[in-house]
């Protein structure tokens, strides 16, 4: 059934498979890796373009002023700051105190405290540290 010629052909094909299979597998793995790297480069270029556009926006004084008003609640001299509170989230109305009427500049926080933000953060850190060591 099996001739010498068929046996030699089978051995040659087996040798070719043993020699070529790792090379082809590695080539396919490198192509997948290359495509992944190309995708990462494209994403990085897009992110770079977005960051460059944002940097250009921050060079505009009007944008900086708008961000200061929005993020930090800054007001210009002579303006009256107002804080709009959602009536569904407010449980009780507080009457304005003498301290809040005298202050100028950024609007006060919703809780009406005049304590600086960094002091409130530090107090929060201390309370968290105490709670962790007590538990």
pLDDT (tens digit per residue) in 51-104: 999 999 999 999 999 998 888 888 888 888 887 777 676 565 555 555 545 555
83 and 52 in a common domain: no
85 and 52 in a common domain: no
103 and 53 in a common domain: no
- How much is the average pLDDT of 43-58? 96
Nearest by Cα to 26 from 34, 15, 38? 34
Q: What is the pLDDT of residue 79?
A: 87
- Phi then psi for residue 80, to 5 deg, are -105, 120
Q: Write out the residue range of the structural domain in which residue 20 sits.
A: 8-59
**Residue 65 neighbours by CB under 8 Å, 6+ apart:** 74
111 and 81 in a common domain: yes
Under the banding of pLDDT at 50, 70 and 90, the label for residue 24 is very high
> How much of the chain is helix, strand and coil, in % rounded to 5?
65, 0, 35
Flag whether 104 is in a domain: yes
80 and 55 in a common domain: no
Flag whether 20 is in a domain: yes
54 and 81 in a common domain: no
81 and 128 in a common domain: yes
First to last CA, the chain: 82
113 DSSP 8-state letter: -
pTM metric for this prediction: 0.43
129 and 85 in a common domain: yes
Q: What is the pLDDT of residue 40?
A: 97
Which one has a higher pLDDT value, 85 or 9? 9
Under the banding of pLDDT at 50, 70 and 90, the label for residue 22 is very high
Judge whether 111 and 92 are in contact, CB under 8 Å: no
Q: What is the pLDDT of residue 119?
A: 83
Q: How far is Cα 73 from Cα 128, in angstroms, rounded to an integer? A: 27
117 and 80 in a common domain: yes
Least confident of 3-7, 12-16, 98-102: 98-102
55 and 22 in a common domain: yes
82 and 129 in a common domain: yes
Nearest by Cα to 73 from 9, 33, 117, 43? 117
Q: How far is Cα 73 from Cα 43, in angstroms, rounded to an integer? A: 34
Counting the structural domains of the chain, the total is 2
Flag whether 127 is in a domain: yes
């Amino acid at each position: 059934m099996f001739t010498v010629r068929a046996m030699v052909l089978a051995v040659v094909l087996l040798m070719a498979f043993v020699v070529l299979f790792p090379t082809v597998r590695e080539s396919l793995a490198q192509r997948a890796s290359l495509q992944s790297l190309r995708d990462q480069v494209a994403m990085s270029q897009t992110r770079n373009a977005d960051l460059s556009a944002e940097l250009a926006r921050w060079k505009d004084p009007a944008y900086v002023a708008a961000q200061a008003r929005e993020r930090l609640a800054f007001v210009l001299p002579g303006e009256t700051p107002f804080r709009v509170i959602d009536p569904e989230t407010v449980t009780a109305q507080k009457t304005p105190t003498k301290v809040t009427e005298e202050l100028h500049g950024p609007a006060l926080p919703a809780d009406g405290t005049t304590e600086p933000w960094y002091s409130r953060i530090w107090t929060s850190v201390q309370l968290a540290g105490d709670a962790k060591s007590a538990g």
